[in-house]
């Protein structure tokens, strides 16, 4: 069993045609998203993957630092679909769904999706997704989808204290290490199959799958950013990926994920 990623072995047995046709591996990079951007600017095609053992400047949403010790799966995927900038959020849903399905299928974990970009296990963050894009006029030139999965990480040793309550890892949830290359391959295969569905049938089946794992739906939540704060029942996520909040006065408010985060105030049954 390989608890580390080894160069050269990543593509062995990989059953994809697009995603992972070209895989770039490094022991250490600043950020795989940054690296993938450089690769696409040099001509790397859609489906190219950049993966690293550790990141020294891993990026989270909203300018946050993403802690990326050895044992995690830190990767970025290059996509070039015909989408408007506001639609690239759909690829974040696709990636979250892929991670949740793989964690369920490979390890039997009850992985859940949380709007807008998280995958949770036992109510804690096991994976975060960061999308970044380049636009030309009104069109998206390319989108980088960065996926960070806390895989073989001893949370007590590998994470700073402030993360130990909110974050978890596959290792913590299972009480054992997993084969990182197996997870990597399963994830790429899942992303490819969901991406093909997305290209043929659109966003609806992706969203439906994602909602099927979204335990926060129906819960009392708080959505907040630097200048905004809403509270209400998370009643739905609409066809554009916007959260539909039912406010206290019964009005519905749609919120675009932009600069916002979501906190579940009470867990729901
Ligand atoms: P988001 O807005 O991305 O959903 P959040 O504000 O809801 O994040 P949490 O989901 O609780 O916050 O994430 C915990 C915080 O720790 C975030 O700021 C996240 O970026 C940060 N963090 C850094 N590295 C990690 C990691 N490896 N695993 C989990 N969280 C991490
Ligand atoms: C978040 O939840 O805030 C998003 C975290 C995204 C982390 C991944 S790890 C691979 C890729 N490279 C980065 O610098 N960030 C993403």
Q: How many angstroms does the Cα of residue 67 sit away from the middle of ligand 1?
A: 9
* Residue ID of nearest Cα to ligand 2 atom 2: 128
Q: Is 190 in the pocket of ligand 1 (CB under 6 A)?
A: no
Examine domains 7-211 and 219-268 and report if their fold is the same. Answer: no
- Left (φ > 0), alpha (ψ -120 to 50) or beta: where does 32 sit? alpha
State the distance from the centre of ligand 1 to the C-alpha of 264, rounded, in angstroms: 14
Tokens 């019964």 locate to: 250
Does position 166 have pLDDT exceeding 90, yes or no?
yes
For residue 40, the Cα-to-chain-centroid distance in whole angstroms is 20
Domain boundaries, the chain: 7-211, 219-268
pLDDT, the chain, mean: 94
At residue 8, does pLDDT exceed 80? no
Q: How confident is the model at residue 3 (pLDDT cuts 50, 70, 90)?
A: confident
Which residue, by CA, sits nearest to atom 26 of ligand 1? 67
What pLDDT does residue 29 have? 98
Are the beta carbons of 43 and 110 closer than 8 angstroms?
Answer: no
Q: Is the model's pLDDT at 104 over the cut of 90? A: yes
* pLDDT value at 12 more than 90: no
CA angle at residue 93 from 244 to 184, to 5 degrees?
155
| Mean pLDDT confidence for 4-24 | 85
Give the number of the atom of ligand 1 that is nearest the alpha carbon of residue 153: 27
Instruction: Report the topology of domain 7-211.
Output: BirA Bifunctional Protein; domain 2 (3.30.930)
Region 193-203 average pLDDT: 97
101 against 86, higher pLDDT: 101
Please name the fold of domain 219-268.
SH3 type barrels. (2.30.30)
Predicted TM-score of the model (pTM)? 0.96
Residue 267 banded pLDDT, cuts 50, 70, 90: low
pLDDT > 90 in the chain, percent: 84
- Kindly identify the ligand whose nearest atom is closest to the C-alpha of 223: 1
The residue-averaged pLDDT of 237-243 equals 95
The number of angstroms, rounded, from the C-alpha of 189 to the middle of its chain's C-alpha atoms is: 15
Expressed in angstroms, the distance from the first to the final Cα of the chain is 38
Query: What is the per-residue pLDDT across 113-155, written as a single tens digit (0 to 9) for each?
Result: 999 999 999 999 999 999 999 999 889 999 999 999 999 999 9
**How many Å lie between the centroid of ligand 2 and the Cα of residue 246?**
30
């Amino acid at each position: 069993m390989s608890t580390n990623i080894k160069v050269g072995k990543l593509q062995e047995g990989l059953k994809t045609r697009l995603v992972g046709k070209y895989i770039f591996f490094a022991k250490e990079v600043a950020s795989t998203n940054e690296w993938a951007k450089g690769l696409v600017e040099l001509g790397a095609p859609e489906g190219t993957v950049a993966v690293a053992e550790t990141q020294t400047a891993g990026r989270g949403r909203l300018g946050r630092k993403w802690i990326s010790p050895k044992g995690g799966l830190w990767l970025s995927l290059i996509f070039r679909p015909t989408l408007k900038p506001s639609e690239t959020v759909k690829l974040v849903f696709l990636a979250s769904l892929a991670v949740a399905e793989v964690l369920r299928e490979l390890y039997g974990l009850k992985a859940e999706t949380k709007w807008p970009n998280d995958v949770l296990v036992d109510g804690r963050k096991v994976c975060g997704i960061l999308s970044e894009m380049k636009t030309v006029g009104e069109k998206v030139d390319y989108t980088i989808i960065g996926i960070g999965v806390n895989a073989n990480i001893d949370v007590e040793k590998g994470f700073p204290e402030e993360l130990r309550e909110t974050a978890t890892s596959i290792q913590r949830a299972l009480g054992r290490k997993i084969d990182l290359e197996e997870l990597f391959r399963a994830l790429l295969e899942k992303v490819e199959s969901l991406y093909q569905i997305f290209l043929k049938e659109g966003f609806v089946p992706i969203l439906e799958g994602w909602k099927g794992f979204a335990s926060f739906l129906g819960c009392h939540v708080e959505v907040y950013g630097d200048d905004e704060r809403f509270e209400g029942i998370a009643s739905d996520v609409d066809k554009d990926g916007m959260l539909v909040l039912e406010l206290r006065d019964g009005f519905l408010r749609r919120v675009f994920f932009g600069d916002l985060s979501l906190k579940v105030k009470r867990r729901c049954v």
